[in-house]
Amino acid sequence: MNEIRIFVPATIANISCGFDVLGLCLDSVGDEMIIKKTIKKGITISKVIGQELPLDPNKNVAGVAANALLKNLTVDFGFDIVIIKNIKPGSGIGSSAASSAGAVFGINEILGKPFSLKELIPFAMEGEKLASGSAHADNVAPAILGGFTLIRSYEPLEVIKIHTPKELYATIIHPQIEIKTIDSRSVVKKEVPLQTAVKQLGNLGGLISGLYTEDYNLIGNSLHDEIAEPYRSILIPEFENIKKECIKNGALGSGISGSGPSIFALCRGKENAEKVSRGMKQVYNKTAIAFDIHVSKINERGIKILETK
């Protein structure tokens, strides 16, 4: 194989009660990447279409992740990467994670899969380190593995793929405002009272159990975040109204996607997810805030190969 074209999905990290440990993979929102073998060794990024992002492989997460992988192998050729960016950077649905994950996935395929999907995660995390200063896996893991993922431990890294209920959909609204990841991290308290931790643990256990047993009521009852949402939501205009509207329209639950500003809702079935999206739109239509909105099935496969040459 000399060339691969792939679909690299957007992802939702945290999912309310899974602060810093849970993530899920979306299906209808994502970038495309084209990766080609080159005679020249090393990584080049020849084009980014759709967004202003650096072409310097040391400043683009795709280049950093790709180089992290190549450090572990001896290859006497290189790779060129083209990124077709549909996921806006800083939206909170894993824009940088998609590029980090896509770069390592594509190169691994061209090389005949020397690494398993799970083994690719630490390389993709190096890209995340460039984007946000910390090598977190809660977006790259679901992008690479698909479905829901749980980071059971960082040291050593252990990622578990969780069962996806068949009728589950996500609705995501992205208000076009800028929240710096550093700001949304800094508002979250470093210490958590025992009572708060107990509530969060109960909900996290409930959500995982609900996902495995496809118990939609239990999933809904568990979608609460006691740790980040009370503080982060203040940075997102109309957050409480959006959340109320989602629940009124029958969503199982709603919360902040990653560190925001996107807000997600989980829904049972596509029809309900569309209804929830109309409710979300109504709230922002009353304001001057521009927004994007997406309805997506949960993507159990993760990155998809579109073409190989």
Active-site annotation, residues: 128, 181
* Residue 258 touching ligand ADP (CB under 6 A): yes
Q: Which is nearer to ligand ADP, 95 or 164 (CB)?
A: 95
* Residue 60 touching ligand ADP (CB under 6 A): yes
* Closest separation in Å from C-beta 250 to ligand ADP: 28
Beta strand 168-175 with 263-268: parallel, antiparallel or unpaired?
antiparallel
Residue by residue, DSSP assigns 5-31 as: EEEEEEEEESTGGGTTTEEEEEEEEEE
User: Binders of ligand ADP: how many residues, by CB under 6 A?
Assistant: 18
For ligand ADP, the binding residue among 9, 30, 90, 175 (CB under 6 A) is 90
* Residue 94 touching ligand ADP (CB under 6 A): yes
d(CA 282, CA 32): 31
For ligand ADP, the binding residue among 67, 99, 164, 200 (CB under 6 A) is 99
* Closest separation in Å from C-beta 61 to ligand ADP: 4
For ligand ADP, the binding residue among 14, 132, 200, 299 (CB under 6 A) is 132
Q: What is the DSSP letter of 93?
A: S
d(CA 33, CA 291): 25
Q: Residues 10-49: x/- map of binding to ligand ADP (CB under 6 A)?
A: ----------------------------------------
d(CA 154, CA 79): 30
The answer to whether the CB of 253 falls within 8 A of the CB of 203 is: no
* Residue 263 touching ligand ADP (CB under 6 A): no
From the number of C-beta atoms within 10 Å of its C-beta (0-12, 13-18, 19+), residue 41 rates as exposed
Residue length of the chain: 309
Angle of helix 61-70 relative to helix 95-110, nearest 10 degrees, comes to: 40
For ligand ADP, the binding residue among 22, 29, 43, 61 (CB under 6 A) is 61
* Closest separation in Å from C-beta 96 to ligand ADP: 4
C-alpha 286, offset from chain centre: 28
Task: Tell me which amino acid residue 275 is.
Answer: K
Q: Residues 162-181: x/- map of binding to ligand ADP (CB under 6 A)?
A: -------------------x
- Which residues of this protein are in contact with ligand ADP, per CB under 6 A? 53, 60-62, 83, 89-92, 94-97, 99, 131-132, 181, 258
